[in-house]
Structure 1
């Protein structure tokens, strides 16, 4: 049965692959990214894409209007967009931290708040976090803003799962290890990950469709390497 799915961060990497996987499986997708051209150029008939910046509050009304006019409800929200900053902590500014948190934390919470009224009790909110956000995991210099923001969304989703446990939807986090993407190259130049973007997208695809039958408010560590 066809589902209605919103995915953020779809211009490259895992998000770009996810759009294609869901489309191929016959689902309807709203693909949101600051650069919508990579998805638009695919010309997939059941995919809608328009430019969207998570850090700009005015953009969220576009999503509400689209859902109301085209879908009426949303089955799955995948918060995949992320902003990386790789800079020694002493060199970071208030503005640096603000930009990272605007996308990775405030953007996630605002997207969830925007979509929630259109989700049913069996809806699934999947937020992509990072092993760097897991308490006690190995940490890497230069990623203070990024990794701390990824820890923040883990706690946010645990809280939301509790707050909505009687009514749904379900909220889960996938804390990813190293995946061969442009973002990994920015964080760890020259490092070769054992997992491709498509391989990880296939995992996220399957988990988002059925993971909420077995998990709610949980953080799954999806990692086979360090980092």
Structure 2
């Protein structure tokens, strides 16, 4: 894999929520640039990404502390280190505030906020111990900065993720560990498949809310994630980077 490089040849990355959508596209982007990857997901389909000596797969719930510990340890065991963490795993629930249950709230906070915290904590520890820095990229949402009607739990979880990222950036700076958030607009993935039969059509119905007149494709968000994971963004940390087709420009 000689082109393109982006300074990632031989780097080791951990990507959560890797079996589909943005996560799967990110694994492909990293592999195209010579990085080795630990691909983690709750879905057993993540094993389809396995490549000898290049992609190691792990099935587990990101909200479980053991999954975070195992994932970071696997990077060290298989590839000798960890340079990049992409916290991509996420869930969504669209309900009015008065209909949102404690189970809804805890489920979204567990994956979107707790899961990112656990993986960032373990990755930070590994990167700091190695002493050569690293990059943590958290996949947020436009709801990191603006509210989503009927999205109390989702908006709160992504707002928490943005603040967590800023703390990681402050604590990581002296160790050369950078942390940034990618904040996409609506992306045409199967994120809603578990709760809507018409998820793709529903997502595309938001096209007009973006000044570009369409929703994003997973590979477009993977490009931004990859940039923030690479040495090309070496002076960026603590940023919330909108990749939302202009959704939050108004």
3-state SS in 1 of match to 2:183:
strand
Note the 1:4-15 alignment, pairs <5 A.
4-15=12-23
| Correspondence 1:178 to 2:186 | yes
| Correspondence 1:213 to 2:220 | no
RMSD: 2.1
What is the Cα deviation at residue 76 of structure 1? Answer: 0.6
Higher strand share: 1
Matched with 1:116 is 124
Matched with 2:159 is 151
Unaligned runs of 5+ in 2: 1-8, 193-198, 208-213
TM-score by length of 2: 0.81
3-state SS in 1 of match to 2:84:
strand
What is the Cα deviation at residue 188 of structure 1? Answer: 4.6
Matched with 2:113 is 105
The answer on whether the counterparts of 1:29 and 1:47 sit within 8 Å (CA) in structure 2 is yes
What is the Cα deviation at residue 194 of structure 1? Answer: 3.3
What is the Cα deviation at residue 121 of structure 1? Answer: 4.0
Residues in 2 aligned to 1:158 and 1:42: alpha-carbon distance in whole angstroms = 31
Unaligned runs of 5+ in 1: none
Residues in 2 aligned to 1:108 and 1:89: alpha-carbon distance in whole angstroms = 24
What is the Cα deviation at residue 64 of structure 1? Answer: 4.1
Matched with 2:136 is 125
The answer on whether the counterparts of 1:88 and 1:142 sit within 8 Å (CA) in structure 2 is yes
What is the Cα deviation at residue 178 of structure 1? Answer: 1.7
Match of 1:16 among 24, 35, 40: 24
Deviations 1:113-149 (A, max 9, x none): 1111221443100101111121xx3x33211101111
The answer on whether the counterparts of 1:21 and 1:205 sit within 8 Å (CA) in structure 2 is yes
Worse overlay, 182-191 or 94-103: 182-191
Note the 1:17-166 alignment, pairs <5 A.
17-37=25-45, 39-45=46-52, 46-119=54-127, 120-134=131-145, 137=146, 139-166=147-174
Number of residue pairs matched by the alignment: 223
